[in-house]
Structure 1
């Protein structure tokens, strides 16, 4: 671990860059970084937070944020050896603003608009409230992917009094907070805005009305509720804060040290940081990450439905390949669609194989180090995902065992027990082929010099020794292309892909022929020439 710590201090991998910022957050004598103090002379855990709005189900953005935060958390632990905590915070006291279009009992839900989400009945009729249902889905979601976290409910914190001390501080510095927020609002909103949203004693609604502070020390405020003037305490669940103020209050009350968020929340982070300073604390450290784009380069939106769900990725690729893709270049916008999955899978396994031969500094910069928290699996797979997709493509209506039988021709020791990753990948490849490749396959007839080149390839394959390996076959393919009169080798390989595989792109042909078998490949050539 000592060697790892030394390498971590110089690593350019972004989780270590974030961890170094965090390590400098607390300083002792002469400005030297020290562990977070617990107030009793000991070390307090560095507190990481991710936020979640429980008005909908968890999605790939939730996975993205918790995963990246966990990567920074592990990097910090490697760098310092100090303890950490990760809170998954559910903003479940927020007012219910809109009925989702994908849930049952919508008419019933519409009757509970503006109430705290924990006071809205569960449309699925399984849990105490809609928020309790979605919170359960969040915990199941995070547990499913093995995250280490502590769940925290906004409602429980408000009603249990955990935020009372900081709420009093919000009231005491109400004017300063208004000075920060009002310039960011339009004229109409300025007239009704209040950082504090009291819960109506009449309707239970979270009210967006002007509020007058009566007594900050006792938490007392005054507001109009349906024509009546009401004085009410904001403590112990009597009110909810507006989101930017709430975010800052939470940072202060919980002592949050690190929280990352998307580029779309940049301005919110600025305002919340100013409010945290007014409340006497520092804004947490954190990374502002770029948003995902669809295949057209447009921002992914839940309302548009142009994104890629977590379940969709896991239908066609592994969880580790998704984590690998998410890790890379978080400050750059990346496209997230079905077409990126095969390459992500293959690159993940390539980096995983390389990790075991690398020096420590290179290991710490390898994405798979952060995907696996430093415990990178030693086993690899004998074929690429791309090659597997091509195999499934030419096999047509094959079952999984037939695929395994072909793989054993290429790698005699290939079994599901020895290569569990490959076993899962076969399922992914068969699903991907079924849904995205098979509908587009179109084997064309060879033309011109392609015919003679394919005839020569068939002849060369017929004379191959049984001892020939993929590299021998690749040499034959390469030589035919060089001597076949093609303007460039790319034209020859494109012809092979389009006439034999029905696709404009394909694998390294020597490896494919070795995998699919010489006799089977000759049948493909005969069909193309026939």
Structure 2
């Protein structure tokens, strides 16, 4: 595949990362900014809490668009044509102490101060609460191999890097008020100011009216909490902007070209887009994505604790499966709970297996193509990993683990697999999936299993299957086993209205669940003799 072939295919691809990237290409038809600087992608993070799946999905999706844009312009990651900034808004005032934080008294005493100026309640040696959470964010992103530059708001404010942009905000103060005041309640209008001064007495971020004394000098006047009238600079970390103004200022100061955000920030995006134009820049391109829902269809909330953490997903599934689940149609809400993990794992591997055999057009629509490119510089189907497949499905691993019950261990499952595949080489990811299958079965499958007694007709069919297995050759294939399972279910003497009823009976009586694997594959993996014992136990319950 030549570079030009990829460019031509990417420019007509309907995959959403390319659709997003094509919007950026309309912004910069030559693939570069007028001043020659890299095209800048940004993601934002509020360090009042710890990073979570929402953080992961935003950085991943932005990275996918970044890589798609590079493909459109024929660039490689190492060419430096793009940048990704992970921005931490750690100058934000600390408004509320979450229930899950230590040293509540310390945090209560520092409410309303910038997050970067509050002592670390975790006492891990970080210089501030925000520094602790920022370190967590960087470790979190590094864990997944993201290519990014970390930028802290406090560094930008305190160093004076934002000073020129702050002066511009002061110059445009009235124009910004004209945008914001109509969107506020009357009571809020009385105290609203684009600029939030920091009290020289208490260090708190103040929500008070501010008079602009000298925009070019950065001087403002306000009344402090104790009633004293203060005149001080808004520069060099002596102020913080209101959220929507701050977001616009950041776009203006850093030259951000692309930033996606959640549906809950739609209004903020509209207002910030107007403000950045007032400042003299252009709103970034960006996608508004839908939010995650729990198993009941309710919006996931950190305060409710009804979400799924990264750690939970990785306990029961793989990193790749999480990326795969997040990839499709970001404009549609996704249910995010433990129950979606097994299907995501198996679907990921199905798409990965297909990749090597697909033509370029289909590759560009394959989520795995994008996921492999995200952090590894993947260039085509010939790359390591494309076309690989698991010797068994994750669902089959779960079925095996559930049958083994308390005997299900990593080493035990590995023994069954080694016997099944006969020493064939397997992808390195398989060992990790064996471990997660044990975890998932222990916590979510085993407690729900109930093997019912078969009916008389089901017992007769099971006996027929047992007779077949008793005489089956030692090297019988999974396909031959599956064929015989089908044939038994079709026999009129057992009275099944359809094969679905027969398979459901197998799952419920042998495995204790309503759903299950291809029985031929399961019998081959678990072993003919072990499977006959399962059948005997089931018939014994009738």
TM-score by length of 1: 0.96
Q: CA deviation at 1:409?
A: 2.3
Q: Distance in 1 between matches of 2:509 and 2:440?
A: 21
SS for the counterpart of 2:508 is helix
Matched, 1:429 2:437: yes
Q: Which of 36, 39, 52 is the matching residue for 1:46?
A: 39
Q: Is the 8 A contact 1:209 1:224 kept in 2?
A: yes
Aligned to 2:256, what secondary structure does the other structure show? Answer: coil
User: Does 1:453 find its partner at 2:443?
Assistant: no
For 2:424 and 2:89, the matched residues in 1 are separated by 49
Q: Is the 8 A contact 1:369 1:376 kept in 2?
A: no
Indicate which of 416, 428, 448 corresponds to 1:406.
Answer: 416
Could you report, residue by residue, the CA deviation over 1:343-367 in whole angstroms, capped at 9, with x for unpaired residues? 0000000000000111111111100
The aligned residue for residue 30 of structure 1 is none
Q: What secondary structure does 2:27 align onto? A: coil
Question: Please, which moves more after superposition, 461-470 or 304-313?
Answer: 461-470
Q: Is the 8 A contact 1:52 1:89 kept in 2?
A: yes
Q: Which residue of 2 aligns with 1:343?
A: 343
Q: Distance in 2 between matches of 1:113 and 1:467?
A: 70
* Contact 2:33–2:39 under 8 Å retained in 1: no
Counterpart position of 1:29: none
Q: Deviations over 1:66-120 (max 9, x none)?
A: 0000000011111113510000101011111111211211101110111111110
Q: Does 1:480 align with 2:476?
A: no
Measure the CA separation in 2 of the matches of 1:116 and 1:44.
Answer: 32
Question: Any idea what the Cα deviations from partners look like across 1:480-507, whole Å, max 9, x if unmatched?
Answer: 1111211111111000000000011100
Counterpart among 30, 35, 48 of residue 34 in structure 1:
30
Q: Tell me, which stretches of 5 or more residues in structure 1 are unaligned?
A: 27-32
Map residues 265-280 of structure 1 onto 2, 5 A cutoff: 265-280=265-280
Within 5 Å, which residues of 2 pair with 1:3-82?
3-26=5-28, 33-37=29-33, 39=35, 43-82=36-75
Residue 414 of structure 1: CA displacement?
Answer: 4.4
Q: Distance in 2 between matches of 1:178 and 1:475?
A: 74
Q: Secondary structure at the match of 2:240?
A: strand
Contact 1:292 1:335 in 2 (8 A): yes
2:108 is aligned, of 107, 110, 128, to 110
> What's the CA shift for 1:376?
5.8
Deviation (angstroms), 1:395: 1.4
Mapped to 1, the partners of 2:50 and 2:266 lie a distance apart of 24
After TM superposition, the structure 1 stretch with the greater mean CA deviation from structure 2, 147-156 or 461-470, is 461-470
Which of 367, 373, 377 is the equivalent residue of 2:385?
377
Distance in 2, Cα, partners of 1:70 & 1:10 = 20
Q: Secondary structure at the match of 2:181?
A: helix
User: Which position in structure 1 is the counterpart of 2:150?
Assistant: 151
8 Å contact kept, 1:407–1:414:
no
Which whole-Å CA distance do the structure 1 matches of 2:62 and 2:74 have between them? Answer: 17
| 1:233 alignment counterpart | 233
- Given that 2:116 and 2:130 are in contact with CA atoms closer than 8 Å, whether structure 1 keeps it comes out as yes
Q: Distance in 2 between matches of 1:438 and 1:91?
A: 44
Equivalent residue number for residue 529 of structure 2: 519
Determine the C-alpha separation between the residues in 2 that align with 1:308 and 1:405: 32
**Deviations 1:423-451, CA, capped at 9 Å, x for gaps:** 10000000000000000010010013111
Per the alignment, residue 296 of structure 2 pairs with 296
Question: Structure 1 residue 401: deviation in Å?
Answer: 1.9
Q: Counterparts of 1:227 and 1:427 in 2: how far apart (Å)?
A: 62
Tell me by how many angstroms 1:459 deviates: 0.9
- Determine the C-alpha separation between the residues in 1 that align with 2:423 and 2:4: 39
CA shift for structure 1 position 34: 2.1
Q: Distance between the aligned counterparts of 2:74 and 2:165, measured in 1?
A: 31
Match of 1:162 in 2: 161
The answer (yes or no) to whether the contact 1:368–1:376 under 8 Å persists in 2 is: no
Root mean square deviation of aligned Cα: 1.1
Instruction: Give the C-alpha shift of residue 341 in structure 1.
Output: 0.1
**Cα distance in 1, alignment partners of residues 240 and 293 from structure 2:** 34
Q: Secondary structure at the match of 2:259?
A: coil
In 2, distance between residues paired with 1:71 and 1:302? 26
**Secondary structure in 1 aligned to 2:231?**
strand
User: SS of 1:103's equivalent?
Assistant: coil
**Separation in structure 1 between the aligned mates of residue 475 and residue 33 of structure 2, nearest angstrom:** 67
- Aligned 8 A contact 1:157 1:163 in 2: yes
Q: What is the CA-CA distance between 1:168 and the residue it aligns to?
A: 1.1
1:96 is aligned to 2:94: yes
The separation in 1 between residues aligned to 2:207 and 2:342, in whole angstroms, is 48
Unaligned runs of 5+ in 2: 76-80
Asked whether the 8 Å contact 1:92–1:116 carries over to 2, the reply is yes
- C-alpha displacement at 1:467, in angstroms? 3.3
Counterpart secondary structure, 1:24: helix
The offset of 1:466, in angstroms, is: 2.4
SS at match of 1:217: coil
How many residues get paired? Answer: 519
Q: CA deviation at 1:55?
A: 0.8
Alpha-carbon distance in 2 for matches of 1:233, 1:476:
83
Is contact 2:92–2:114 with CA below 8 Å preserved after alignment? yes
Question: By how many angstroms is 1:38 displaced?
Answer: 5.4
* Partner SS, residue 251 of structure 2: helix
Partner of 2:263: 263
Task: Report the counterpart of residue 463 of structure 1 in structure 2.
Answer: 471
